[in-house]
Amino acid sequence: MDDAAMIQVLGAIAYGELGAHEEAKAKAAAATDDEERTRWRVIAGQELRHYKGFTARLKAMGADPEAAMAEFRPALDAYRGTRPADEVEAAVWAFLGEGIADDLMVWFKTVVDDEMAAFVASVLTDEEAHEGQAAAALRTVIGDNPGSADAALSAAQTMVDNMIASGGGVGTVPSAPLLAFMRVGRADELVRLIMRGFARRLREIGVDPSGIKTPFRAPV
Ligand SMILES: [Fe+2]
Ligand SMILES: [Fe+2]
């Protein structure tokens, strides 16, 4: 992989980790009971470890982490700045978001050197636990609500809409973080992995993935 592509993708990942750290820290501060506060504090610490590991690699490559992250600030800030309308939306976005992050890491591990791959494996261990917790939280929220499949479908739809809008809309996504991953190469493999993971998680929460509308046309 060429260094420029690697620096870009590390910048996107590092900024994502920093945001995850800040979000977990805020959730710990807002927690209403000790058990919840401790859980978010642990996650905040893990996200900070991830951030530091990825920025350490940027520095080792002679890159400035701030500069590498700058390109992805607008899209990720816009995405994170959109607040969920209700608790179903919050839980669905958290679960599907953790899932996408997991799949990106699974793929990233396959395109990096051994040292980075070992670090990414340790990140994945944490992230899989985060996804498990998000899945459990989602089950609690939509558990016995008969209208939950409809609510989950519309929550997944608003998430997809938000992701597209945050990247600047269709066709104008030069700084979308996903593109940094795609520039690394093997883009078709990556997109397939993300789409499959997204569809599988939708089915897990009782949503038919074909019910999600996107402005992209299916390949003929
Ligand atoms: Fe993380
Ligand atoms: Fe996480």
> Given a cut of 60, is residue 135 above it in pLDDT?
yes
For residue 50, give the ligand nearest its CA.
1
Quickly state the pLDDT bin for 218 (edges 50, 70, 90): low
Alpha helices (H) in the chain, listed in sequence order: 3-30, 34-60, 65-70, 73-81, 87-111, 114-142, 148-166, 177-183, 187-204
Residue 174 reports pLDDT greater than 60? no
97 CA to middle of ligand 2, Å? Answer: 9
What pLDDT was estimated at residue 131? 92
- Give the separation between CA 177 and CA 71, rounded to whole angstroms: 9
pLDDT at residue 175 greater than cutoff 70: no
Whether the pLDDT of residue 18 is over 80: the answer is: yes
For residues 41 and 207, which has the higher predicted lDDT (pLDDT)?
41
pLDDT of residue 220: 40
What mean pLDDT comes out for the span 151-162? Answer: 88
10 CA distance to ligand 1 centroid (A)? 13
What is the average per-residue pLDDT within 30-42? 95
CA of 150 to the centre of ligand 1 (A): 30
* Ligand nearest to the Cα of 24, by number: 2
Which pLDDT tens digit goes with each residue over 61-95?
999 999 999 988 888 888 888 889 999 999 999 99
Ligand of minimum distance to the alpha carbon of 129: 2
Expressed in angstroms and rounded, the spacing between residue 98 Cα and the centre of ligand 2 is 6
Q: What is the mean pLDDT of the chain?
A: 88
Q: Is the pLDDT of residue 167 over 80?
A: no
d(CA 1, ligand 1 centre) in Å: 23
Ligand closest to 119 (CA) is 1
Q: Where are the domains of the chain?
A: 3-207
> Following DSSP, what letter does each residue of 180-193 receive, concatenated?
HHHHTS-HHHHHHH
| CB-based contact 95:135 (threshold 8 Å) | yes
Per-residue pLDDT, averaged over 101-105, amounts to 90
CATH code of 3-207, in short, is 1.20.1260.10
Reported for 36-40, long-range contacts at CB under 8 A and 24+ positions apart, including other chains, are 39/133
